[in-house]
Structure 1
């Protein structure tokens, strides 16, 4: 299986290099390891995250695409769907099949047809439109629901500024 997953990941990387998708860039952390990617998400326009550069690592399992990669933001971000340790929590990255908590339909979860591109597009849309129903960061979700233009907005603005400073280190 490793051979197939490595080939598929190489193909997806080549495709992204040839036809970059707006809103993010992707590459390998180490050229020797096709299973560990570094992505930079550009904060989507007309959102609180606009202007930010958020670096994340994607770690693919050896049986990709049967199972989803894990995604961890390295740049600090204040968002209901990103845990305080940086773990990104969205349906598309959840293991395939039934959700034992009954929140998600199987088709909302990981499917082998997903690619790095579809993952990144989901993450970008998650930035634009947080889901506070099943938050990974309860405090951020509470602020987003109760006062999106107050404390939440201030914390996000601070993360955006920090991300811009770090982007050019």
Structure 2
């Protein structure tokens, strides 16, 4: 069963109001354009204890008209060097994959998008992804290779450069 478009928008409006009332560690969010609840700006704080700590990474969360039946897309606007973030900035994690069975058998259907997921769930998964990259299923093969082969060397340098750039754009 799919919800009419205006019900998806009402759900997004409700989630945004709830997120703005409470403080959630690790990210903040708001609308890019007050006339549209379908594109949000998110600022993610680099997780404590990770190489990303101290960074403030901007991203856009774009919801389809069929939300919540279909997942949003998350794209980093800030430069992000990470195995699970493509060079185009798009995040690749299970929770944002279309709801279906994975033909390659890598993900179970329940690991993918479900209409019960909230923006808070998504963002907490993204923060966890930043802290714990999955180099077995990379969106950025170069970052994954560095992560595996030179974690404390070149990978760390690339991430720290991204952190510095994010701080300069505050």
> If the length of structure 1 is used for normalisation, what is the TM-score?
0.98
Match of 1:68, SS state, is coil
In 1: Cα distance, 2:106 partner to 2:144 partner: 17
Any residues of structure 2 matched to 1:24-63 within 5 Å, and which? 24-63=27-66
Any residues of structure 2 matched to 1:45-84 within 5 Å, and which? 45-84=48-87
Figure out how many residues of one structure are paired with residues of the other and give that number.
Answer: 167
> If the length of structure 2 is used for normalisation, what is the TM-score?
0.97
Displacement, 1:102?
A: 1.5
In 2: Cα distance, 1:157 partner to 1:166 partner: 14
Query: 2:21 maps to which residue?
Result: 18
Q: What are the ranges of 5 or more consecutive residues in structure 2 without an aligned counterpart?
A: none
In 2: Cα distance, 1:153 partner to 1:102 partner: 32
Query: 1:155 maps to which residue?
Result: 158
In 2: Cα distance, 1:148 partner to 1:154 partner: 9
Match of 1:38, SS state, is strand
For the aligned residues, what is the CA RMSD? 0.6
Query: 1:106 maps to which residue?
Result: 109
Q: What are the ranges of 5 or more consecutive residues in structure 1 without an aligned counterpart?
A: none
Runs (4+) of structure 1 moved beyond 2 Å?
Answer: none
